Amino acid sequence: MLEEQELAREDTQEEQAVENRDSDVEVEAADQELAHEETEVAQEVEGSAPEVDQQLAGEELAQQEPEPEQMVDEAAAEAEEEPEEKQEGRHWYVIHSYSGYEKKVKKNLESRIESMGMQDHIFGVVVPTEEVVELRDGRRRTVEQRIFPGYILVDMIMTDESWFVVRNTPGATGFVGSGNEPTPLRDEEAEGILKRMEDEAPKVKVSFRIGDSVRIIDGPFTDFLGMVDGLNLEKGKVRLLVSFFGRETPVELDFLQVETE
């Protein structure tokens, strides 16, 4: 009986050993198969790497190289940024007109330029004006004021034909120049006048100057007299020397707080 039990136990141990060996063999085969698959994947990746690199390089090159339309747009933008070359013989000239009729003469000349087809020789007509702040009756008001009353600027190329068109405009009395020869403005002179017209902040126009005697009409010093000692046109302030008990004291006031005597 004991011998049978021992034989059965030995058979069981042998069966387990066989199963363990079979399991080890299966695991080893699976590991070998997995390693083989990894090797194949690595070879495929290495083989396709040059193609991927070439594709990426091609895409980067395509991004760096501008398209034809983009090149055209950039060239047009650069052309716009470049300052326009001044035509040979083109200058600003000054003509006389009757004072107060500058805008009417300007309109007449522009009509003649169009009707006589002189756009290629006469390019612009300008009445120099600027905005100023006037002080009247204790109030501020912004008005347009002519910088050079009785004068008009004309941007043109001087020829016999263009001279005839401008000179015979109703209201125009002649060109500024020596004798019968019109004298053009220097470029810096014309640019200064045009820039002055473009100033955004209007200038304050006052009726008194440094050294004038004025009366204070508002504030704690109302009815006192003072002498103008300084003007600040940007801030609209005036500095007065006011006499208190025989001593002159500086006082700063707004332009609207004083008036000329």
| Residue predicted with more confidence, 137 or 60 | 137
Q: Measured between alpha carbons, how far is 3 from 69 in angstroms, rounded to an integer?
A: 100
CATH of 90-200, one of 3.30.70.940, 3.40.1280.10, 3.40.50.300, 3.40.190.10: 3.30.70.940
Identify the pLDDT of residue 144: 85
Banded pLDDT at 72 (limits 50, 70, 90): very low
Identify the pLDDT of residue 75: 47
Q: Measured between alpha carbons, how far is 126 from 147 in angstroms, rounded to an integer?
A: 11
Q: Measured between alpha carbons, how far is 93 from 220 in angstroms, rounded to an integer?
A: 53
State the SS3 of 236-249.
Answer: CEEEEEEEECCEEE
Angle subtended at Cα 155 by Cα 153 and Cα 157, rounded to the nearest 5 degrees: 135
- The tens digit of pLDDT for each residue in 153-207 reads 999 999 999 999 999 999 999 999 877 789 999 999 999 999 988 876 677 778 8
Averaged pLDDT, 142-148: 86
| Residue predicted with more confidence, 12 or 197 | 197
Closest CA to 126 of 112, 143, 147: 147
Identify the pLDDT of residue 99: 87
DSSP string across 191-241 = HHHHHHHH-SSPEEE-S--TT-EEEE-SSTTTT-EEEEEEEETTTTEEEEE
Same fold across 90-200 and 213-260: no
Percentage with pLDDT > 90 across the chain = 38
Query: In 3-state terms, what secondary structure has residue 48?
Result: helix
The arrangement of secondary structure in 213-260, i.e. its CATH architecture, is: Roll (2.30)
Identify the pLDDT of residue 229: 93
> In the chain, where are the structural domains located?
22-82, 90-200, 213-260
The model's pTM: 0.55
- The tens digit of pLDDT for each residue in 19-34 reads 555 555 454 555 666 5
Q: How many CB atoms lie within 10 A of CB 150?
A: 15
Tell me the torsion sign for CA atoms 143, 149, 150, 153. Answer: negative
Closest CA to 185 of 148, 150, 147, 154: 154
- pLDDT mean across residues, the chain: 78
